[in-house]
């Protein structure tokens, strides 16, 4: 049985990698010689691990683990947005 905390850590790690990869892709897009290839490769490399993890959790019947991972995945976006820049809808002081 996989503990809830482990599922949340998995979601946070996948979220961090996904959103950092998206940020990295957006930064490289302006100087890329082949932007379509960069976007497609980045999409596959960011999406595949998330889909594999979601399928594995769902296949084991761990709906609570999937929910914890999804929540942590979305929380990683907020944390990285605060680290890298502005978050739409949040007031900056």
Distance, CA of 72 to CA of 3 (rounded, Å):
14
Distance, CA of 46 to CA of 20 (rounded, Å):
9
pTM of the model: 0.81
Rounded mean pLDDT, 12-39: 92
- Of 43 and 61, the structure prediction assigns the larger pLDDT to 43
Mean pLDDT (the chain, rounded) = 88
pLDDT at 12: 96
pLDDT digits (tens, 9 = 90+) for 52-73: 999 998 998 889 999 999 999 9
């Amino acid at each position: 049985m996989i503990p809830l905390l482990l599922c949340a850590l998995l979601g946070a790690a996948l979220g961090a990698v996904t959103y950092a990869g998206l940020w990295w892709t957006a930064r490289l897009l302006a100087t890329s010689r082949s932007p379509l290839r960069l976007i497609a490769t980045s999409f596959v490399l960011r999406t595949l691990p998330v889909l594999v993890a979601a399928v594995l959790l769902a296949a084991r019947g761990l709906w609570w683990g999937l929910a914890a991972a999804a929540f942590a995945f979305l929380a990683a976006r907020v944390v990285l947005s605060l680290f890298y820049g502005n978050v739409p809808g949040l007031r900056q002081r």
